[in-house]
Amino acid sequence: MTAAPLPGGPVLRAPAEITYADELAALAAADQGPRPAGWRLTPRAVRAFVVGDPALGVSRKFYGDDPLVDRCVVTLMSNRGLLLVGEPGTAKSMLSELFAAAISGDSTCTIQGSSGTTDDQITYSWNYALLLAEGPTPRALVRGPLHQALARGAVCRFEEVTRVQPEIQDVLIGVMSDKLLHVPELDDPDSVVFAAPGFNVLATANLRDRGVHEMSSALKRRFNFETVRPIRDRDLERRLISEQTDGMLAHADVDTRLGPDVVDLLVTAFHDLREGVTEDGIQVERPTAVMSSAEAVSVGYAAALDAHYFGDGAVGGQHIARQLIGTVLKDNSDDGAKLRHYFDVVVKPRARRDKVWKAVLQTRPELER
């Protein structure tokens, strides 16, 4: 699969519609069924883009609950917005990007929510030089992501919506109800932007952030909520980590790869710490740090880079352990004691019978620094 080039040359990370341009084209050509107004692909093709279609050479991108994907596609066809909630690192943002790329052909119409997000960053603002010279004219208008999505009939992504102040969140209420945006400074007919077919809002929120800024009841009623849960199937997580790290390393032009034994170590350690119990029933204290699949991929990728640039290119348990220590300790200093306990009661016995875990144990002194 070759991605379409971006203007200006190589980039660190291309949007999904560029990275998977060949797959999107194959799906558009193969499925000629009915399409909702404003959609680039049929609902079946959107689903196939996310969960994969081996017959068309379309890769699986989301490893999780396939019925969840079906429900999300149905919601995005309806008159309600879609809100993906879940623990950090459960691929909510990736899912929203994939849906926007497949439905609208553009995943970059995005609002990144934060405590400093203002309503003009969501809707529209002004080019003040033109505003002073010409007054409020369409040429002086700077269209925000929501304005653009309405006019084009596209999916507008709203990342981390609960990090935004409630009075700013509520800018969405009228737009999602009436499917229009008022620009009172302009004269008719430019003073109202009506939603073109295909418009919808796809938001994400972390469960850990619920209470940062609670959404109003009125805004909640405009969304269907779907919870994206961590991967429980270890085989599925092994496949995810292998494919994701291989892709990232290939993009970085690094020929080092994670072996099956190292991937198994990574998945096992993350499940132990995430669940608070090992497969053989040993209880361990769960750290406050996020132990998501996304974090596991980051640990695997960083371990491979460590082995490639500072070692002989073979990724071992010591490389995984160094990156795991940094991941666990980044949120709370108390997690150091929990990780030391994990090394003493879980890693040490495993090290006696497995050389990969023995390499992990060799990094134990780093926890005392």
- For residue 129, pLDDT over 50 is answered with yes
State pLDDT tens for residues 225-271: 999 998 888 999 999 999 999 999 998 999 999 999 999 999 999 99
Dump the DSSP string for 36-51.
Answer: -TT-SS-HHHHHHHHH
pLDDT of residue 36: 97
Q: 3-class secondary structure for 188-233? A: CCCCEEECCCCCEEEEEEEHHHCCCCCCCHHHHCCEEEEECCCCCC
Nearest to 276 by CA among 361, 368, 341: 341
Beta bridge partners of 204: 84
- For residue 2, pLDDT over 60 is answered with no
- For residue 60, pLDDT over 50 is answered with yes
Predicted TM-score of the model (pTM): 0.90
The answer to whether 198 and 154 have CB atoms below 8 angstroms apart is yes
Nearest to 350 by CA among 302, 324, 317, 301: 317
Burial grade of 123 (CB within 10 A; 0-12, 13-18, 19 or more): buried
pLDDT band at 210 (very low <50, low <70, confident <90, very high): low
**Taking the mean position of all CA atoms in its chain, how far away is CA 56?**
24
What is the Cα–Cα distance from 72 to 67, expressed in whole angstroms? 9
pLDDT of residue 89: 86
Strands of the sheet containing 81-86, edge to edge, are 110-112, 155-159, 200-206, 81-86, 223-227
pLDDT of residue 11: 83
pLDDT of residue 213: 83
